[in-house]
Amino acid sequence: MGRHELSLRILSAFVVGLMLIGYVIAFWPSNGDTQFSFAIFSSGAVDSPKITAEPTPPPPYTPPSEIKAVYATSNTALLPKRMEALKKLIQDTELNAIVINVNDSKKEILSRPEFVDLIKSLNADGIHTIARIVVFQNEALVTARPELALKTGGGNIWRDGGGHRWLDPSSEKVWQEILSVSEKAVAVGFRELNYDYIRFPSDGAVGSAVYPSWHKEKSREEVINSFSAHLRRNLKSRHPDLILSVDIFAHSILVEDDTRIGQKFIDIVDYFDAIAPMVYPSHYRAGNFGYKNPAANPYGVVFGTMDKAKKKLETAGKSKIILRPWLQDFNMGAVYTSAMVKEEIKAVKEAGFESGWMLWNPHNVYTRGALEVEPAGG
């Protein structure tokens, strides 16, 4: 083949190619149906590309306006039959939330697959999930990091009147450990973090306790406020919609000082989204609110405490603070009937609080008759 003939064939092929391209452009559909267009030239042996829409992100979570919860230990949480019973109680009644311990034992619960699946299941069922995180009275962390614990003068681990061990509330190493647990709880899927024991020890030979970090350069109240501010700042910067709540002694509402535990009611409310005073009538002294046996008078004790809290908040210009108390559903000081638990719930509402309540029973067995039944389909 001569050089000129070869050049002519190349030129002819080039012209044909241009014509094909022009044909494609002229007849390309304007509706974006790429599957049809490619089918014109396809033998059918190759699948045409498919355009898939981006997945729709889930809507932002909105917590119940009135949270009504029961409490479960980490041991209960790992027992499927017990959790099914609690879930049924929640679904059949006015309850809509559950508080679960996540760091109160030697077990590492937050990384266990069955626990992660449990929280996913509860969330999917529309149950508001709350992780209870124990802070400075923390047996698990004392065991793991004994150098952070309070000591006796002889260097042994100090214990309070109940035999419990404590961490130094001023230690930033302790603060980081609590933040680490908090982040793990968020990663598992908890909607709210509830902190207990954000305070100094209250009983036993507290004067003999040796603190690794705290040398009284700050007051107890300043230490607790600093920790609370640190906790909020770090968690809210990463999880702005996360709900943070704190358990406090109900007694701190009745007094003006920090009761030597660093927990001053009117100050600690600044650092949390919800405050949970532990309003257990059995824990009040004889004579409180004029009752010889406060445990036998649940309405008067709960109403008196919540009303006092309301007035203190109004005086301080903090009336919008959410108070969601812990209520007694266990026998101590009196046998607690369904009528008595109902009286507690009634007292919270009649004191002017509509943000809910949480029932405490250390054995996680609750008085069904005290709860309103959820209508079928409700």
pLDDT band (50, 70, 90) for residue 104: confident
- 351 domain-assigned: yes
**Three-class secondary structure of residue 67 per DSSP:** strand
Number of domains in the chain: 2
| Cβ contacts of 106 within 8 Å, gap of 6 or more | 139, 140, 143
Distance CA 351, CA 344 (A): 11
Taking residues 258-274, report their average pLDDT: 95
Q: What angle do CA 288, 290, 292 make, to 5 degrees?
A: 80
Looking at residue 207, its pLDDT comes to: 94
Range of the domain at 194: 67-370
Highest mean pLDDT among 4-18, 28-42, 57-71, 293-307: 293-307
One domain, residues 257 and 190: yes
Regarding predicted confidence, which is higher, 28 or 193? 193
Taking residues 101-121, report their average pLDDT: 90
Express each pLDDT in 38-93 by its tens digit.
Answer: 333 334 444 545 555 566 666 789 999 999 999 999 999 999 999 999 999 999 99
Give the domain CATH number at 72: 3.20.20.80
pLDDT band (50, 70, 90) for residue 19: low
In whole angstroms, how large is the CA radius of gyration of the chain? 31
One domain, residues 88 and 19: no
One domain, residues 191 and 122: yes
Helix locations, the chain, DSSP H: 3-27, 34-41, 74-77, 80-92, 113-124, 139-144, 172-188, 220-238, 251-254, 265-268, 298-315, 338-350
- 48 domain-assigned: no
- 56 domain-assigned: no
Looking at residue 33, its pLDDT comes to: 41
Q: Is the pLDDT of residue 368 over 60?
A: yes
Taking residues 296-300, report their average pLDDT: 99
Cβ atoms within 10 Å of 14's Cβ, excluding its own? 10
One domain, residues 156 and 235: yes
Looking at residue 375, its pLDDT comes to: 65
Q: Is the pLDDT of residue 227 over 50?
A: yes
Query: Structure tokens of 178?
Result: 């609590």
**Three-class secondary structure of residue 370 per DSSP:** helix
- 377 domain-assigned: no
Burial code of 128-137, b = ≥16 C-beta within 10 A, e = fewer? Answer: bbbbbbbbbb
Taking residues 310-332, report their average pLDDT: 97
Query: Structure tokens of 64?
Result: 């119940």
Q: Give CA 145 to chain center in angstroms.
A: 24
One domain, residues 33 and 181: no
Looking at residue 29, its pLDDT comes to: 45
One domain, residues 255 and 313: yes
Cβ proximity of 246 and 195 under 8 Å:
yes
- 298 domain-assigned: yes
One domain, residues 72 and 145: yes
pLDDT, mean over the chain: 89
Q: Is the pLDDT of residue 345 over 60?
A: yes
One domain, residues 35 and 71: no
**Three-class secondary structure of residue 249 per DSSP:** strand
Looking at residue 24, its pLDDT comes to: 42
pTM of the complete model: 0.84
- 46 domain-assigned: no
One domain, residues 106 and 239: yes
One domain, residues 7 and 132: no
Express each pLDDT in 149-204 by its tens digit.
Answer: 999 999 999 999 999 999 999 999 999 999 999 999 999 999 999 999 999 999 99
One domain, residues 227 and 360: yes
- 10 domain-assigned: yes
Query: Structure tokens of 50?
Result: 């498919």
Looking at residue 149, its pLDDT comes to: 98
